[in-house]
Amino acid sequence: MLEIEILPAVLAGLIAGAVMEGPVYLQKAVGLPVKQNIFRTWGNLFGLRGASGYLVGILFHQALAAAIAVLYAVFFRLIGVEGDLWLWGLVGALVHYTLAGPVVKLLPSVDPDTGDVGKQGLAYRHYGPLDVATSFVGHLSFGLLTGIFYGLFHSGGGSGLAI
Residue 122 lies in a domain: yes
Residue 108, SS3 per DSSP: coil
pLDDT in tens, 106-163: 887 766 667 677 778 899 998 999 999 999 999 999 999 999 999 999 998 888 899 8
Q: Which of 76, 72, 48, 74 shows the shortest CA–CA distance to 60?
A: 48
The residue among 144, 141, 143, 161 whose CA lies nearest residue 152 is 161
Residue 131 counted as domain residue: yes
Cβ atoms within 10 Å of 49's Cβ, excluding its own = 12
Q: How many CB atoms lie within 10 A of CB 151?
A: 27
Asked if the structure places residue 116 within a domain, the reply is yes
The number of angstroms, rounded, from the C-alpha of 46 to the middle of its chain's C-alpha atoms is 19
Within a domain: 126: yes
Query: pLDDT digits over 52-80, tens only?
Result: 999 999 999 999 999 999 999 999 999 99
Residue 110 lies in a domain: yes
Report yes or no: 40 and 54 within 8 Å, Cβ to Cβ.
Answer: yes
Q: Is the pLDDT of residue 81 over 80?
A: yes
Structural domains in the chain (count): 1
28-44 confidence digits (pLDDT tens): 999 999 988 889 888 88
Domain span holding position 86: 6-162
Q: Is residue 1 part of a domain?
A: no
Question: Above 90 in pLDDT, residue 50?
Answer: no
User: Is 20 buried (19+), middle (13-18) or exposed (0-12) by CB count in 10 A?
Assistant: buried
